[in-house]
Every structure is written in structure tokens, then in C-alpha cells.
Amino acid sequence: MAELTVADTGPASAKPVTIGTGGTESAATDRLLVRLGHQYAAVGRTMVGVGCAVLAPFTNPPVGTAVISMIAAAFVAWSAVYLVQMFREPRPWVWGTDLAIVMALCLASGSLEATAIISDQAGWVIGVASFTVVALQWHLRVGAAAAATALIVGSYLVGAAASPAPGWTEGVPMGVWMLVEAALSRLLWVLVRRGGRVADRVIAQQLADERGATLAAARRADQRSYWATLHDTSATTLLVVGLGEVRGGETWLRPQLERDLVALRAGAAPPDGDVDLAGCLRETVATSRTTADLQLGDPVRVPASVAAAIAGATAEVLENVRRHAGVDGAQVSLQARNGRVVVTVADDGQGFDPAEVPMTCRGLRWSVHERMEGAGGCARVDSAPSSGTVVHLKWPDWPKLDG
């Protein structure tokens, strides 16, 4: 499992995820949930606050309709500022100011609402205060949110005690209910954040697994490419020497050894850009010890990596013709159509059954099939005993080739 550590730098901060490999990636899910949570709480607080303030002039307040209308209008204006600021970037002064305003409303509730409404605990001030304690749980850490909730509840009880009736004792149930609301809101926020962190942990692990799989596949591809190069060069040359086919005076041996060394030193990476595949095949046939009748036609431009793969696979097929077919030559043709190419190497030799080729014979598997697959193509071998062999090297890989 990837190791994941979380560091909280503030109420609006995203939490960086540290993966065991040493990389650090942003916890995107947690960051998104934090932003949406802040916006949700701000919208809820604003909508409830504005709705309650609109009802304020109709509560028969002791201060009179004109005064309460001005207070309600000022509160609506502040709510608009609050919402805009919370959407831009939640800052401590925003919720701090909102907390102070709500506390002031709670303390003055006896003058802002009729006594009967306060007794029924159905006034507009309690509506504002009730949702504010809910919203604060989504904006502040646990300690700060608990302190802010206690201040609002205390202010409400003091305001209820200062009102002519019913007194602070009848305000206790609503104060307790606000505490319950705050606890439930905090629990919901904790569950939301926990879900985001779990999602980030799963995503981080998947990314780590994908990176590991990609690196492993790249290493295997490089290894197979190097094995194919080794098989096609020095291993083949040494096999020829080991089989006694070299007497010491062959003119081809020294140039072949030089080409082998160049190929091994150059590695598997071909040059960038496009090259002429027909020219590469001519060079391949020219350096092969198998005579080939070429039917190449016009130049065909393909990526250099593709040309290298096809040329290498063609060289291996021609070497197999020389060693196993029992004939002196083969036919090499190139067809190009609609951005697709196919190279065909055919001989009239003794042929073989491809299904009977043992796994220890890796020339076709490494140097032909895997080389073509690595370039995005494929190889097809058609052969049977006493019927010759035809090898199709296709790029890119597609199911059928007409003709």
C-alpha cells in the first residue's frame, strides 16, 4: 500500500497526499469537497438568514417596524457580502464578523421580536442563529467551531433572559437543540471529509500501481528489445562461428562484427522522425547473407522506430531462411496502402509447422513477433512442411489485408 499522510493547514486548505514512493500529489477529492462544503454552508446560511430577515418586519417587534426594517435590510446586505466573500476565499474575518452579528441579534432578540414569538421559540433570530451554528461546523476546526457555537447559544440564552418574557429557562430547550444541530452538522462534515480522504487514498494507490506497472512494462520492453538485438547480432554471429561455418577467410565476417558492435552500443532507441522503409529494407538485404529478390516500389515513409522494427524482423526471417529453409534465397516485397504497410518474405524451402516450434527457439518470438508488436504492428507466419514459408510483417496491426 502507498503511504498516505495528511497535513491540515487550515479550515479551507486541501490536504496533500504523500505517496510511499516519495511523490506528493494534491488530494483532489478532498480539496473539491472542502470547497463545495464551504459553498454549501455559505449558501444555506445566506438563504436562511435572508428569508428570516424578510419576515422580521412582520413579527410585531418592540422597536417598531421602521427600525426592524432597517436592521433586516442591513442584515440582508451583510449576507450578500458574506456569500460573495465565502465563494471567493473564506477568510477568518468573514465568519468572525458573521458570528459577531448573529451574537448581537441573539442578545437583542427581546427588542427585535414580540414576546409571544420568543415564547414559542419561532422567531426569525433563532432561525438565523440555528443555521449559523450548522454552517460554522463546515468552516472551522473542531475547537473553534465548538467555541463559536457556545458563544451563539450563550448569547441566545442571555437575550432570552433579558426579554420581558419568557425568561432564560424557556430558552434552554432551543439552546440545547442548537447544540444538537451543531453536533450533527459536525458529524456530517467529518463523514464527508473522511469519504474524500478514502477516495484520495484509493486514487493515490491506483496511480502508484499504474506507475509501477508502466515502469515494469517499460523495463520488460527494453529488456526484450535488447535481447532481440543481441539475438540478431552477436549471438547469431557466434552461432555461425560455433557451427563451423567460418573458416577464417570470409570477407563478410569483419563487417558483420563491426555492425554487431555498433548495434549493441547504440542500444534499442532508434532516431526520431520518419524514414524511408524501402531504403531500410534494401540496406537490410544488402547486409544479409541470404540472397533476396526485392520488390519494393516507391519510397514509403514510416516512423524510424517502425522502420527499425520491420527491418530487424526482416533480417531475422532472412537468417532463418538461410539456416532452416534449405534454399539459397527468398522474395521480399513491400506494399503500402492508406498509411498501412506490409512486408512479405517468402521462400520455397522445406517449410515447417509453426505450432511445433519449441519455446526454446526464440528467434521468431523475440526478433519477429515481439519486435513487431512493440512497434504497434504484428507478424503472421504461414508455413507447412514441404510447402515453403511466407511471413507477413504488418504495420499498424489490423485484422485483414486484402490480397
127-146 pLDDT, tens digit per residue, is 999 999 999 999 999 999 99
- Flag whether 228 is in a domain: no
Q: Are 110 and 62 in contact (CB under 8 A)?
A: yes
Residue 359: its pLDDT value, please?
A: 63
CA–CA dist 30, 14 (Å, integer): 6
Whether a cis peptide bond, with omega within 30° of 0, leads into 299 is no
- Flag whether 259 is in a domain: no
Expressed as residue numbers, the domain containing 57 is: 17-207
C-alpha atoms less than 13 angstroms from C-alpha of 139 in its C-beta half-sphere? 31
Tell me which residues of the chain have a pLDDT lower than 70. Answer: 1-26, 115-121, 164-170, 220-272, 359-363, 366, 398-403
- Flag whether 72 is in a domain: yes
CA–CA dist 379, 320 (Å, integer): 15
CA–CA dist 213, 225 (Å, integer): 18
* CATH code for position 309: 3.30.565.10
Residue 328: its pLDDT value, please?
A: 81
- Flag whether 305 is in a domain: yes
- Flag whether 403 is in a domain: no
Last residue of a domain, one of 186, 207, 228: 207
Instruction: Give the residue from 10, 241, 16 showing the smallest Cα distance to 141.
Output: 10
Q: Tell me the C-alpha to C-alpha distance, in Å, between residue 134 and each of 56, 181, 186, 316.
A: 21, 6, 8, 74
CB atoms closer than 10 angstroms to residue 139: 24
- Flag whether 360 is in a domain: yes
Last residue of a domain, one of 207, 234, 255: 207
* Spatial CB neighbours of 368, under 8 Å, sequence gap ≥ 6: 313, 316, 317, 379, 381, 391, 393
CA–CA dist 244, 254 (Å, integer): 16
CA–CA dist 351, 320 (Å, integer): 11
Number of domains in the chain: 2
255-280 pLDDT, tens digit per residue, is 666 666 666 665 555 556 888 999 88
Instruction: Give the residue from 203, 204, 147, 201 showing the smallest Cα distance to 179.
Output: 147
- Flag whether 246 is in a domain: no
The pTM (predicted TM-score) of the whole model is 0.53
CA–CA dist 112, 65 (Å, integer): 10
Residue 12: its pLDDT value, please?
A: 41
Mark whether 310 and 390 lie in a shared domain: yes
Mark whether 53 and 193 lie in a shared domain: yes
Q: Which long-range contacts (CB under 8 A, 24 or more apart) does 196-201 make?
A: 196/27, 196/29, 196/30, 196/32, 196/33, 196/34, 197/6, 197/15, 197/27, 197/29, 197/30, 199/29, 199/30, 200/4, 200/15, 200/17, 200/27, 200/28, 200/29, 200/30, 201/2, 201/4, 201/17
Last residue of a domain, one of 183, 207, 231: 207
Residue 392: its pLDDT value, please?
A: 94
- Flag whether 216 is in a domain: no
What DSSP state is assigned to residue 353? -
